[in-house]
Structure 1
Amino acid sequence: MSIFRLVTVNTTPERAKRLIGRVAEGVKDRYTIVHAANADNIDDVKPTLEREQPDVLFTASMWTPEQAQEIVTIAKQTVPGIKTFSIPYGLHNERGPDAIVEFITENLPNILGPGTRSGL
């Protein structure tokens, strides 16, 4: 089974950790997801990625599409081969945490695909 190191970009780190924990628990028969770190703001993305060298980065739904794209660009420039996923803007506010978990879980096969960048 593949292990994926994940960094989230979320202004509420405890929420990110809790939601990713729910996702990881729900898919543990197919993937091992390790929530390596969270960047609280866009300025922290690059140093967090340099330190953690994750396989995957998720942007939270509080980021506008433009901000999410900026974060993704930073990620791809910092960690070649990183997989990225942006949760749609406003999803958490509109539909709550269960919708976030469901949305991530439904999209994981497309996000992660076969294998890992790091070979963990």
Structure 2
Amino acid sequence: MAAQWRLLTVNTAPERAKRLIGRMIEALKDRYDIEHLDNCENIDDVLPKVAKYKPNVIFCASMWTPEQANTIFATAKTVVPDIKTHAIPTGLQVERGPDAVVEYLVEEVPKLLH
């Protein structure tokens, strides 16, 4: 059985995060067992939710700057030092829409989870 990936997302639009991650999980289900645990709507939610869920993967949505993503990842690593991290490129959702985000994740996530 493949490893189970326990994913936490950081996105100010939780319903959109749930939809897009759901589409990514569906597209990758033949290769990966990914569970979307929860979403953090702001940076202050990261520490308590990482402590609660102990995810092994965290994604930052495209509304966060690289500096904010680094803060989010550093915070997560204080609880789960070997957590895998990925920041969706800043502005991708706004510039190219939700389908582009899903396509991007389907292409990039296997590189992260190899």
- Report TM bin, short chain: over 0.9
Query: Which residue pairs with 2:95 in the alignment?
Result: 94
> Separation in 1 of the partners of 2:19 and 2:80?
25
Deviation at 1:51, TM superposition (A): 0.2
> Separation in 2 of the partners of 1:76 and 1:102?
27
**Greater CA drift, 17-26 or 67-76:** 67-76
Deviation at 1:2, TM superposition (A): 2.1
Query: Which residue pairs with 1:65 in the alignment?
Result: 66
Q: Which runs of 5+ in 2 are unaligned?
A: none
**Percent of pairs identical after alignment?**
58
Q: How many residues align?
A: 113
Once superposed, what is the RMSD of the aligned Cα atoms?
A: 0.8
Q: Which runs of 5+ in 1 are unaligned?
A: 114-120
Query: Which residue pairs with 2:48 in the alignment?
Result: 47
Deviation at 1:72, TM superposition (A): 1.0
> Separation in 2 of the partners of 1:16 and 1:32?
18
Query: Which residue pairs with 2:107 in the alignment?
Result: 106
